[in-house]
Amino acid sequence: MGFYKNKNILVTGGTGLIGRPLVDLLLAQGANVTIVSLDKPKDLSNKVVFKNIDLRNFENCLSVCNEKDIVFNLVGVKGSPKMTLENPASFFIPTITFSINMMEAARQCNVERYLYTSSIGVYHPTDIFLEDDVWSTFPSENDRFAGWAKRMGELQAQAYEIQYNWDKISIVRPANVYGPYDNFDPDNAMVIPSLINRALSGERPLTVWGDGSPIRDFIYSKDVAIGMMQVVEQGYNKPVNLGSGKGVKIKEIAENIASLMPDDCELVWDTSKPSGDKKRLMNTERAKSIGINTETSLKDGIKNTIDWYIKNKNIEDMRYNAFTDKVYNK
């Protein structure tokens, strides 16, 4: 793919779970990449331009979008369902603000293409999530703050197309993403990084919330990045699910992680805690129709993530915590 060669590209949230592999892939194709993040990483490539600025300020958004050909807007707030339910404003307000500011700045700067990162959280609980079913339902009660915040970004895109005839926006809805550079803090991490952290820290037995029966769709971060690049390159305007299309029980995830530990890692199930929605599975036919396929198996992806974390768990990144609004040493 030579599409990105010499393009001036902005990746907001470029130090995160999806941003890291996306930046690496763009650099490999010869793109000129600028990253914006509130983190303060110490291991970035010297080939990127890094800006540590707050995108809740609209003037900052205009500044970073200026003279950019393509904007990948990945900036957001990531935390466990428990954290977002206990601190909903810390998730909801920044997510909407990022979307409003960045999309408007990109429009004013007349970028060639803008990618908006939505979420599996926009969907109402059902067996299979189809892209065109979103607006006939409400988001899950368990994910309502994330769901509505991301839906507002999608609605903003529709409003811009109607009023400004601005058809430069691509929208992707990633499933449950995992991989290197995730948030591994067990106090607010998602299920895979939380279990990896606690298992490697020696928690025995390893406690898992619920009964392990819920079915989820997991996708490796690099596969999401590849899908994003393909959607943008093709100028595709309809929302696209990025997932494996394969359901896996939380029980299988926990057992997989436990089996990769160097010692006997017994699992216990805390059924006093909520399990969440029974099933959240993506229909990926639209993605496949435009040539997007998942390349990394769940088994390989989890092993890659564990191997990376073992080597990098003491990495001296200064990570931004949206729930405390502070930068902290992770």
What is the per-residue pLDDT for 89? 85
Category of 276 on φ-ψ map: left (φ > 0), alpha (ψ -120 to 50) or beta: left
3-class DSSP assignment, residue 114: strand
Q: Which of 77, 83, 143, 85 is nearest to 321 (CA)?
A: 77
Helix (H) or strand (E) holding 12: strand 8-12
Question: Residue 330: pLDDT band by 50, 70, 90 thresholds?
Answer: very low
> Which amino acid would we find at residue 128?
I
SS3 78: coil
For the chain, give every domain's residue range.
Answer: 8-181+217-244+281-297+315-329
Taking 90 as the threshold, does the pLDDT of residue 272 lie above it? no
Among 22-26, 64-68, 85-89, 154-158, which stretch is predicted with the lowest mean pLDDT?
85-89
Does 188 have pLDDT greater than 90?
Answer: no
pLDDT of residue 323: 47
Instruction: Locate 31 and state its tokens.
Output: 């793109």
Residue 181 region, left (φ>0) first, then alpha (ψ -120 to 50), else beta?
Answer: left
Residue 270's alpha-carbon distances to 194, 286, 290, 313, in angstroms, are: 15, 37, 42, 27
Q: How confident is the model at residue 318 (pLDDT cuts 50, 70, 90)?
A: low
Residue carrying structure tokens 């990618």: 115
Does 99 score more than 80 pLDDT? yes
State the average pLDDT for the chain: 91
pLDDT at 265 over 70: yes
Alpha-carbon distance 327 to 321, whole Å? Answer: 6
Give the pLDDT confidence score for residue 319 in this predicted structure: 61
What are the tens digits of pLDDT across the range 207-235?
998 999 999 999 999 999 999 999 999 99
CATH topology of domain 8-181+217-244+281-297+315-329: Rossmann fold (3.40.50)
